[in-house]
Structure 1
Amino acid sequence: MPIKAGSGGRGPLPTPGRRPRRVFAASTTRAEKARAIRGLGALGGLSGVLVALMILPTACTAGVGTRDAAHWFGSEPEGLSTSGVPQRSRILAADGTPIATFFYQNRVDVPLKGIAPIARRAVLAIEDSRFYEHGAIDSQGTLRALASNLSSGKVTQGGSGITQQYVKNLLLTTADSRAEQRAAKEISPARKIRELRYAVALEKRYPKDEILRRYLNIAYYGDGAYGIEAASRHYFSKPASKLDLAEAALLAGVIRYPYAYDPVHHPGMARERRDTVLRRMAELGWIDSATAEATARQPIALRVQDARSGCVTSEAPFFCDYVQREILTSPVFGKTPQEREKLLKRGGLTIRTTLDRRAQRAAQRAVDGHVPRRNSAHKAAAEAMVEPGTGEIKAMVVDRRLGPDRERGKTWINFAADASHGSSIGMQAGSTFKAFTLAAALDEGMPFGTRLMAPRSYTAVGYRDCKGRSRGDPGTPLRNAADGEGGKSFSLVTGTHHSVNTFFLALEKKVGLCQTVKMAEKLGMRQASGEPLEQYPSFTLGFNPVSPVRLAAAYAAFGARGRYCSPIAIRRVTDASGHQIKVPGAGCEQAIDKDVADAVNYVLSGVLTKGTAKGLGLGRPAAGKTGTVDNFSAAWFAGYTPELASAVWVGDPRGGYRYPMENLCMDGECYGAVFGATIPAPIWQESMLGALADTPAEPFHRPPSHFFSKGSGEDKAKVPDVRGLRPAQAVARLRAAGFRARVGAPVESGRYPKGTVAEMEPGARTAEPGDTITLRLSKGSKRRPPRGGGGDGGGGGGGDQQVPVPPITFPPGFPR
């Protein structure tokens, strides 16, 4: 009874003139194995004789007899290996979702049960219908070819069965050198004899089912699809296990001449070839004629799905590129770059990464929303998100597509990564580096209330680097950025909240330049080029070029209570055989004391509530630091919660100093000068809110009491009420209380005499020591005295009396 399409293929495959026998079981039966061995043994002698006859001219020339040639042919050849068949590698997100594929040949190896039985029948019908009946060499086909070969004196026909075709594909696919490739392609008796010899050895080594499986997985099916699984996905967008008769016949027909029968480029020839396969299956009785005819009337129905190799089309292209470069540069994956590239593109790796797709989407939306890919100002933005306590990179985005820089809106440079993982030389970090000076000060035990004078300009002298060399720049006074303040004293807390440059220069000198640098190094900081951090007084102002991913990892250590982990993108890698490959770890260690980290968190939390990024919090415990690079050449924000840390950079890839972000207008929106809180902090806020949605909030730990030995650092002194006093008296009283004073515009006042203090700004009862209090003097009242009852102004007039006020005098140097 013939097998009908769709029967599932569990019935027999009848051969004309013979009783049907089952040949597609999961494994060959014991009886079949015995028959195969007997057949192979019988064919061994015949094969030897046949091959000896085929190579007789060569053998005679070399003085080798027919019997010796037959013995040589039947022996196991050296160097016979079936490994090394290229398979594609996949990069997966943390949830197992594919984000990229890499391949030298687009191939997905599947077991025999993963291939529809009807597809196996179709291939056997057109390529080797007697595959399960003959040994390594089909004597009928070989004898037919032998006649032609003997008459021509060379090998012109091979009568190749599936085993021989598998050998041919194997030798060609695994050829590494050009010489091996030429040997696998050459048309010569030597190549044919070698293939036949390998075929005999493989028939001894593997059962028929396994050889068929290997053949179906190695064959080329045209249009870049290698193996039946990749071909099925490419042409029909379905796995090979779901192929129907028409689809199976089409793929089976392509194998003989994949470039001529490719259904995408040559649909007419592909259909003719498909119909040939259907007729052959009917001739063999494997399908009935009516089914073959009905199927042949169907048009070719393709649903092409291209498989792209690499990161360009990935949903997370720059993270994907980071992973790719990790594999291509790490000696864990091979001793040489060539070995590592071969492993990635041919090794069938499954690479499970740390990527959180929700965080990735949130970051990409935030970055693209504030700095569009093709923005009119040509600015760029990048962000990296790292999990505290693990170092796992959860997101990595750039406001560009991965591609050639000559095309607007594209770049090959990963601005979020170091040079080794993205070709970026890094960007100056600005005031985000002040956090390391703060941490160094707290590590030395300085309490929050420690106060230092922050002058309006600062001459950097008296610093020494870690080699004891004097470092300074006495000729160039350093000043406060436009988003900072100066000219008064600040505590560790308020100096950080207001990001005062001269305060941190003074604090760095007090702590020590070397100690500040060492603190940054403990937290994984180095230049994006891989070089050590340079050591100069302006270190605390962030002149070193770094990458967002390293800065995010450093700030993540604060969120993890001092536990630093190197940023990692790969969790696990398995090869094509399922064996796990060791991957680089995060190397987590306690870099700074928990108490110190808790104190840093206490101070940096205020940046979002009282400092330069006020109003940009998350509605949950969070901390961070703005960074504005001098001349507005770039801007940063680095912030974190106990669950996630992130660093955002915004700048100009053409050069920040050449194209500063001052008076910036971008796509119709103007910002004036761009600070860390102008664009980077809102990006950080939006991306963090999206990434942490539905994630329970954890609090920071309260710092130990010794950090509060001089108060909270935020304590405000009581401002004396000097209203009604003369200016000189008011100024003296305010200075005695630790405040500065200036005189503003006068105001009308019916309460205080002209020339005395009528109003004070700010009007709060407390203020930070060193704050300036603005005094407004009374101009008196414009109200006129009431008119008298007909008198001439004498005796009992009843009007307001004007009190004479002496001239106002100010202390020397008093600001007006």
Structure 2
Amino acid sequence: MPIEAGNDGGDALDDGAPAPARRPRRVLAGSTTRAEKARAIRGLGALGGLAGLLVALMLLPTACTAGVGARDAADWFESEPDGLSTSGVPQRSKILAADGSTLATFFYQNRVDVPLDRIAPVARRAVLAIEDNRFYQHGAIDSQGTLRALASNLTSGQVTQGGSGITQQLVKNLLLTQADSAAEQQAAKEVTAARKIRELRYAVALEKRFSKDEILRRYLNIAYYGDGAYGIEAASRHYFSKPAARLNLAEAAMLAGVVRYPYAYDPVHHPEAARERRDIVLRRMADLGWLGRDVADRTAAQPIKLHVQDVKSGCVSSKAPFFCDYVQREILTNPVFGATAGDREKLLKRGGLTIRTTLDWRAQRAAQRAVDGHVPRRNSARKAAAEAMVQPGTGEIKAMVVDRKLGSDRVRGKTWINFAADASHGSSIGMQAGSTFKVFTLAAALEEDLPFGTRLMAPRSYTPVGYRDCKGRRVGDASASLRNSADGEGGRTFSLVTGTHHSVNTFFLALEKKVGLCETVKMAERLGMKQASGKPLEQYPSFTLGFNPVSPVRLAAAYAAFGARGRYCSPVAIRQITDASGHKLKVPGAGCEQALDRGVADAVNHVLRGVLTKGTARGMGIGRPAAGKTGTVDNFSAAWFAGYTPDLAAAVWVGDPRGGYKYPMDSLCMDGECYGAVFGATIPAPIWQQSMEGALAETPAASFHEPPSHYFSEGSGEDKVKLPDVRGMRVGAAAARLRHAGFRVAVGGSVTSTAYRENTVAEMSPGPGSAEPGDTVTLRPSRGPGPGAHDPGPDDPFPQPTFGPEPPVTPSPELPTIPPARPG
């Protein structure tokens, strides 16, 4: 709320309601109305009475011979008054990205406090010339100035000069800015003897407490300069798009003139009045001998040249609006920043905070381009997308985007809801996570040292019976059978590896029962998962299928823990906050801890890497070691992809803000492109791929660690494939053929062979048949020919092989999740 606090001449012109309640009429020199003249006469009367009071008060301390009463009164007037405070002047706060660039500004009053040496000397002189030219010669009360102002006003018939000096005006501004209610503001502005006596006592105290330079600095930083600009620095940036240190004479004189009556002399809305007032300042400077008359005249001949730069408060105009909103809500909702909501809002909008955040512009821009490119803001299907990026090992949120602008949902393409965040940080109640939750069951199984080759039957339908929640209660016994409805896959066994790669629902229901529903839930909780509403995760057999509504930022933080080898950190957006005085404030930490064993995390990474090379997200690699998991929600109501490298994790959601079950993506056409049924690999995975490639463009590739060997105790877990018979081939050619087929090769000691010539393969282990891809095949060459030895020649049945491209493998589509089975 703009607050005017000019000198007493200004009071006579504006002694009514606070400024925002009304907009003043244009005031031009020589064009005052009858009402304005009457008002000025009333102001002169009030000023005349106050002038008499001022003189009496100034003479009081010298009346030492008048008796004890006068001496006591003088002592009272000179004593430090109660309640005098110079703190609490509203200053604007700013949110910065990691590189120091500004994301947004928040303020109650748009003010930037600066030291005196960052205010152009000509600007200081201009203010002193028009407001208090004897400021450095007199004390808190200037009797000469008061009488001069009274005489000038009586002569002109208008209030052209105020009777208050700089120190008294500073006091009045302090009282106004510290007023928390309309009544307190009115009391600070009313023209009464009681108010003037209080201000004078405060002025005397300030003159004792601070130097003249410090008083001038505080005044220049607190005064209102019109059009929402408080303090000379904010005013200079607003009107001229330059700092106050670079103000020239014409600009300085204009700003000095505005202070008397900001609403009448505001150059944006009243340019003629502003120019006339500027010229009065220039003439006054010349009259005082502070400026040559010719210089004043030349400057007065110049038009006012503005380069207005508006500073908006809040996140709406930010280039990273939803990340900005996340930071804002963190401050407004976290008790660490104040006991009450009012205290926290006051800190943000008045405290002059510098809030340094974790946002990485490269990641932010890459994510926004990817989201907007695949799900345009005003797309024909009215779908939405959101993505959050989190750094493994720190929990720092590097990017947060929504394919909307921040604003009213009534306008298409805008929303106040941050779909990437929890309810506490963006009003979203979250979205069902789909098969991205299967990773928590996988991690729980690996924590129990189940090897990769562990195989379970995955029937075509599965009736959940015998599950118990973390309170030991049986849950889900009355639920209907659950199926692999999307691709019909089932009726055979899968391993931990292949069941994950193909995201088989019935396999994970069986695996969850094997390791325990509670163990799966606890794994998710250890990795920071909870409902977006803040409530604990609900526990039913279909937990592993992702029926709990969560946010992308929490899911990204959970997956980041795998990239950090089991170290989980809560997502954080703020690195440091300093107040207006440069003091650091306490900020919430990430609370990093080792949530699961490194070897377990390495094993999870090993399995999830295959999702990108041979599973449901085949072909979505990013040219460096990466892992991830697709997620498709029941009835195609939403789709997800969560993936990561050791350097960065991200989670992408695509759905319909109007309700996914009401507007499913089972036959989606959007902006002329039709997708059919939308799985996690259809739109979310390409968004993830593009955004990760952009975000990591200048980051050296990092590798995952190999999992502990005991996880291979029952093989690699891959489905068995045909093992070529390479006996009789030369060793080099045999090794090349086996590697092409996906096997590792070792060469053992030579053996005597009567069937195969020297340097050809005589034995292979395992022998021809079937084996798991990645198995090691040991080749043993022949030592030499014997009777009846085979002699490879031009017609050899195993010539040096040449292989074409490997035939493509079409992965099974992602299976949609199934809603929780509720007890009957």
Into which bin does the TM-score normalised by the smaller protein fall?
Answer: 0.7 to 0.9
TM-superposition CA deviations, 1:152-172 (whole Å, max 9, x none): xxx999710011011111110
1:161 aligns with 2:158: no
What does residue 751 of structure 2 align with?
A: none
TM-superposition CA deviations, 1:498-533 (whole Å, max 9, x none): 000000000000010000000000000000000000
Higher Rg? 1
What does residue 207 of structure 1 align with?
A: 211
What does residue 104 of structure 2 align with?
A: 100
Q: Given the alignment, which residue of 447, 453, 465 partners 1:449? A: 453
> How is 1:145-160 mapped onto 2 (pairs within 5 angstroms)?
159-160=163-164
1:126 aligns with 2:130: yes
Distance verdict in 2 for CA 1:484–1:444, change over 3 Å: farther
Helix, strand or coil: the match of 1:307? coil
Helix, strand or coil: the match of 1:416? coil
TM-superposition CA deviations, 1:27-53 (whole Å, max 9, x none): xxxxxxxxxxxxxxxxxxx99872288
Amino acid at match of 1:115: I
Amino acid at match of 2:634: D
1:624 aligns with 2:639: no
Q: Which moved more, 1:352-361 or 1:173-182?
A: 173-182
Q: Partners in 1 of 2:386 and 2:277 — Cα distance?
A: 53
Amino acid at match of 2:625: P
Helix, strand or coil: the match of 2:344? helix
TM-score by length of 1: 0.80
Is the 2:629–2:643 Cα contact (8 Å) retained in structure 1?
yes
> How is 1:746-757 mapped onto 2 (pairs within 5 angstroms)?
none
Amino acid at match of 1:107: R
> How is 1:284-303 mapped onto 2 (pairs within 5 angstroms)?
284-303=288-307
Distance verdict in 2 for CA 1:344–1:633, change over 3 Å: same
Q: Partners in 2 of 1:503 and 1:212 — Cα distance?
A: 76
Q: Partners in 1 of 2:323 and 2:424 — Cα distance?
A: 13
Helix, strand or coil: the match of 1:648? strand
Q: Partners in 2 of 1:308 and 1:478 — Cα distance?
A: 53
Is the 2:54–2:143 Cα contact (8 Å) retained in structure 1?
no
TM-superposition CA deviations, 1:555-592 (whole Å, max 9, x none): 00000000000000000000000000010100000000
Distance verdict in 2 for CA 1:378–1:635, change over 3 Å: same
* 1:715 to partner: Cα distance: 4.4
> How is 1:730-745 mapped onto 2 (pairs within 5 angstroms)?
none
Q: Given the alignment, which residue of 354, 364, 369 partners 1:365? A: 369
Is the 2:58–2:143 Cα contact (8 Å) retained in structure 1?
no
Amino acid at match of 1:424: S
What does residue 691 of structure 1 align with?
A: 695
> How is 1:445-484 mapped onto 2 (pairs within 5 angstroms)?
445-482=449-486
Q: Partners in 1 of 2:215 and 2:202 — Cα distance?
A: 12
1:531 aligns with 2:535: yes
Distance verdict in 2 for CA 1:145–1:260, change over 3 Å: closer
* 1:497 to partner: Cα distance: 0.2
What does residue 558 of structure 1 align with?
A: 562
Q: Partners in 2 of 1:288 and 1:156 — Cα distance?
A: 23
Distance verdict in 2 for CA 1:618–1:427, change over 3 Å: same
TM-superposition CA deviations, 1:377-412 (whole Å, max 9, x none): 110000000000000000000000000111110000
Distance verdict in 2 for CA 1:246–1:144, change over 3 Å: closer
Instruction: Count how many residue pairs are aligned between Structure 1 and Structure 2.
Output: 671
* 1:148 to partner: Cα distance: 12
Q: Given the alignment, which residue of 654, 657, 661 partners 2:658? A: 654
Distance verdict in 2 for CA 1:426–1:682, change over 3 Å: same
What does residue 798 of structure 1 align with?
A: none
Q: Given the alignment, which residue of 516, 520, 523 partners 1:519? A: 523
1:505 aligns with 2:509: yes
Is the 1:459–1:474 Cα contact (8 Å) retained in structure 2?
no
Amino acid at match of 1:242: R
Q: Which moved more, 1:708-717 or 1:667-676?
A: 708-717
Is the 2:58–2:141 Cα contact (8 Å) retained in structure 1?
no
1:677 aligns with 2:681: yes
Amino acid at match of 2:262: P
Is the 1:484–1:499 Cα contact (8 Å) retained in structure 2?
no
RMSD: 2.4
Is the 2:94–2:355 Cα contact (8 Å) retained in structure 1?
yes
Amino acid at match of 1:407: V
* 1:146 to partner: Cα distance: 8.2
What does residue 602 of structure 1 align with?
A: 606
Q: Partners in 2 of 1:48 and 1:69 — Cα distance?
A: 14
* 1:766 to partner: Cα distance: 5.5
What does residue 411 of structure 2 align with?
A: 407
1:51 aligns with 2:63: no
TM-superposition CA deviations, 1:433-455 (whole Å, max 9, x none): 00000000000000000000101
Q: Given the alignment, which residue of 322, 329, 336 partners 1:332? A: 336
Helix, strand or coil: the match of 2:393? coil
Amino acid at match of 2:640: W
Is the 1:122–1:281 Cα contact (8 Å) retained in structure 2?
yes
What does residue 734 of structure 1 align with?
A: none
Distance verdict in 2 for CA 1:156–1:198, change over 3 Å: farther
Is the 2:423–2:429 Cα contact (8 Å) retained in structure 1?
yes
Amino acid at match of 1:609: T
Helix, strand or coil: the match of 1:476? coil
Amino acid at match of 2:57: V
* 1:483 to partner: Cα distance: 5.3
Task: Report the identity percentage.
Answer: 83
Q: Which has the higher contact order (CA 8 A, sep 6+)?
A: 2
Amino acid at match of 1:594: R
Amino acid at match of 1:79: G
Q: Which moved more, 1:134-143 or 1:635-644?
A: 134-143
1:177 aligns with 2:174: no
* 1:426 to partner: Cα distance: 0.2
Distance verdict in 2 for CA 1:144–1:235, change over 3 Å: closer
Is the 1:717–1:768 Cα contact (8 Å) retained in structure 2?
yes
Q: Partners in 2 of 1:548 and 1:513 — Cα distance?
A: 23
Q: Partners in 2 of 1:175 and 1:605 — Cα distance?
A: 61
* 1:331 to partner: Cα distance: 1.2
Amino acid at match of 2:183: A
Q: Given the alignment, which residue of 705, 724, 733 partners 2:709? A: 705
Q: Partners in 2 of 1:355 and 1:333 — Cα distance?
A: 21
Helix, strand or coil: the match of 1:378? coil
Q: Given the alignment, which residue of 400, 418, 423 partners 1:419? A: 423
Is the 1:54–1:149 Cα contact (8 Å) retained in structure 2?
no
Q: Partners in 2 of 1:48 and 1:86 — Cα distance?
A: 30
* 1:176 to partner: Cα distance: 1.6
Distance verdict in 2 for CA 1:143–1:595, change over 3 Å: same
Q: Once superposed, which parts of structure 1, at least 4 consecutive aligned residues long, lie more than 4 Å away?
A: 46-49, 52-55, 64-67, 143-150, 155-158, 764-769
Distance verdict in 2 for CA 1:190–1:454, change over 3 Å: same
1:311 aligns with 2:315: yes
Is the 2:385–2:652 Cα contact (8 Å) retained in structure 1?
yes
Helix, strand or coil: the match of 1:384? strand
TM-score by length of 2: 0.79
Q: Partners in 2 of 1:238 and 1:117 — Cα distance?
A: 15
What does residue 781 of structure 2 align with?
A: none
Q: Partners in 2 of 1:248 and 1:676 — Cα distance?
A: 61
Helix, strand or coil: the match of 1:606? helix
Helix, strand or coil: the match of 1:394? strand
What does residue 399 of structure 2 align with?
A: 395
Amino acid at match of 2:596: I
Q: Partners in 2 of 1:499 and 1:591 — Cα distance?
A: 24
Distance verdict in 2 for CA 1:411–1:306, change over 3 Å: same
Q: Partners in 2 of 1:707 and 1:636 — Cα distance?
A: 28
Distance verdict in 2 for CA 1:135–1:620, change over 3 Å: same
What does residue 765 of structure 2 align with?
A: none
What does residue 746 of structure 1 align with?
A: none
